[in-house]
Amino acid sequence: LRKLQEQNKVTEEEFSEEEPETKVVNNFADLDDFEIISSEEEELPATTSKLLKQEQNTQPEENLDLLLEELKESSIGTPQEQKPYVSCLKRHPKHFDPQNELSKLFKEERKSKKKAKRNFKKLMLTPDKTDWPLNLDHLLVMEKVPDPVKNLFYFDMTKKYSNIQPEYLSCVESNDPNAIAGFLQKYPFHVEALFQLVLVYQMQGNFEQVGSLLERMLYSFQLSFHHQFSPIGSDIAMDISLNQFNKIFYKGLFTNVDCLGRKGCARTALEFVKFILALSPQEDPLGCLFLVDYYSIRSRKLSYFLEFTDKYMEEFYGFGELIMLPSIMYSIALCKALMNETFECTNSHVSRCSEVKGFSELRQQEASVILLCAVRLYPGLAKALISKLFPAFQFGEVDYQTFLGNTQKTSEIYASRNEELWKPEKISSWLKACIEKSSEITLNSQDFQDTRFSELLDRYSHLDSNEFSFDVRRVIPEDMEVGRRGPVGNLDPNANPFYLFFASMLPWNYVNFQE
């Protein structure tokens, strides 16, 4: 009995020695310390675990709980900060790099390479060209128009650039692309000469060479950027009609979008489209609104496109709904159908169309309701689209009403560009079913009229549908100077007839038989 009592006495003394250590509680202890305490509780008897729990509930922890409750109440009482407004044309530098998109498409990891330290803003449009020279003798300069309201930029010639202009003009007057190519060997970053060769190779269908020349041209433009101008900036207005260099910059970006689309880089092409729109969002001289929907759907940025259509008119015009544009209305219907994977046209959709009062309500409807109303409001676009998908389909003679005037130009542009988006069988069949049921719809013309938007639609009457087609262009463009006939022929009429026959088949060669 004495031995047992002595053993119990020892354990009590050990516990009393360990007890003072547990009285001091560290409020900033790590999780590992708490886990050790919990494991010790399991090993100790029930009486000792109760003592530990009582000692853990000390006054500092009670004060900490009260402090947390006060902070919680104060956070509830204060209003939450509103998120900053994000422009519908916001751009990110990484989306300007087509190699990033290609590596994602083919699931390849790009090896990190040591690159020279350079100004990333200047290389944003051509991020992979880090080995090209920075100091060029024949660069342009970007100037800023003194305007207190907005930043308006334009390109102009430097003294060194103007010194080589006579030599360039003599090459243009020769009507020989080989003369332009020889000129570029001496001045490889001359933007006007590069643009002329881009047009030549574009007519030949050599888009690989077109893309290579465009990279050099955009690289040269980047080195001329003003310090306040950035491809991701918000206040970067530029007037395309101010001079020839502004026009070349616009057309170069626009042609680059087409090349990116042909390479399968739809996401990068969308970023360039937003950049062009940001230069002149209200005028939109090249019709980039007809490209936003196409590249958004191709790159599966469906949520962005719907957000874009919600914000664009409010941000840049302050009135109207973008869904009023025929192309946008058809694309919104397609976008919603792809998001919900619903391609059905039922009688309930037809009956719901008559309940829609105006474009703002139409924007909230289902995909089939929007497409039915689109066919009813803009039958010309549906006819142009269905004729490409089902050439033998009879559209039918129905008394359709057009609410925004002549939409023939916009219908041709949309059908030539977006034909491939509507080609899948389930989508084309859905369009066909909506066209067949559209004759049963009655809409109030007063709910779908806006004279201001008619003026907006007329701005796109100057566009050429060939600029939006993927077919190789056969007509000489207006901007092409080297291929037009001059006063003197460039082929000797006394040369070999076989040589003259094949040489004259090229659009920039001709024989002057007047000599």
Cα 31 from Cα 25, distance rounded (Å): 13
d(CA 505, CA 515): 21
473 is a domain residue: no
Is 83 a member of any domain?
no
Q: How far is CA 275 from CA 44, 55, 228, 331, 354, in A?
A: 70, 65, 15, 21, 39
Q: Contact at 8 Å (CB) between 299 and 124?
A: no
- Residue 90 confidence (pLDDT): 95
Tell me how far apart the alpha carbons of residues 153 and 228 are, in angstroms, rounded to a whole number. 9
Q: Is 311 in the same domain as 271?
A: no
pLDDT in the model for residue 455 = 76
Same domain, 214 and 360: no
Do 149 and 259 belong together in one domain? yes
| CA gap 366, 355 in Å, rounded | 13
Q: Are 241 and 300 contained in the same domain? A: no
CA distance 410 to 464: 10
Mark whether 102 and 148 lie in a shared domain.
yes
Amino acid in the structure at residue 484: R
Q: Is 146 helix (H, G, I), strand (E, B) or coil?
A: coil
Which CATH number goes with the domain that contains 273? 1.25.40
Q: What's the pLDDT score for residue 48?
A: 44
> Domains in the chain: how many in total?
4
Q: At 237, is the secondary structure helix, strand, or coil?
A: strand
Minimal CA–CA distance to 26: which of 37, 18, 17, 15?
37
268 and 184 assigned to the same domain: yes
Task: Identify whether the C-beta of residue 216 lies closer than 8 Å to the C-beta of residue 189.
Answer: yes
Task: Give the list of residues 6+ apart from residue 505 with CB closer than 8 angstroms, or none.
Answer: none
215/211 Cα distance (integer angstroms): 6
Structural domain contains residue 263: yes
pLDDT at 461: 83
Yes or no: say if 359 and 453 are a contact pair by the CB < 8 Å rule.
Answer: no
Tokens 């024989």, residue? Answer: 511
Q: Is residue 326 in some structural domain?
A: yes
Examine the domain organization and report whether 209 and 295 are in the same domain. no
**Element of type H or E holding 34:** helix 31-43
Choose the final residue of a domain: 263, 283, 303.
283
Task: Please report the pLDDT score of residue 506 as a whole number.
Answer: 62
Name the nearest CA neighbour of 468 among 376, 374, 384: 384
**Which residue in the block uniquely carries the two structure tokens 């090229």?**
506
Of 250, 283, 316, which residue constitutes the final position of a domain? Answer: 283
Considering the domain architecture, whether residues 36 and 131 belong to the same structural domain is answered as no
Note down the domain range covering 341: 288-462
260 within a domain of the structure (yes/no): yes
Q: Measure the CA dihedral 289/295/300/304, to 10°.
A: -30
CA distance 474 to 472: 6
Together in a domain, 421 and 509:
no
Please say whether the beta carbons of 239 and 152 come within 8 A: yes
Do residues 207 and 271 both lie within one domain? yes
For residue 144, report the phi and psi dihedrals to the nearest 5 degrees: -115, 130
What is the secondary structure of 488-500 as a DSSP string? S-SB-TTS-HHHH
| Residues with pLDDT less than 70, the chain | 1-83, 108-122, 396-406, 451, 473-478, 480-492, 498-499, 502-515
Asked if 238 and 154 touch (Cβ cutoff 8 Å), the reply is yes
In a domain, 468, yes or no: no
Q: Do residues 453 and 497 share a domain?
A: no
- 212 HSE (CA, 13 A, CB side): 7
Residues 379 and 273 occupy one common structural domain: no
479 located within any domain: no
- Asked if residue 471 belongs to a domain, the reply is no
Q: Quick one: tokens of 343? A: 């391609």
DSSP string computed for 454-490: HHHHHGGGG--GGGG-SSPP-SPPTT--TTS--SS-S
Domain boundary, last residue among 262, 283, 304: 283
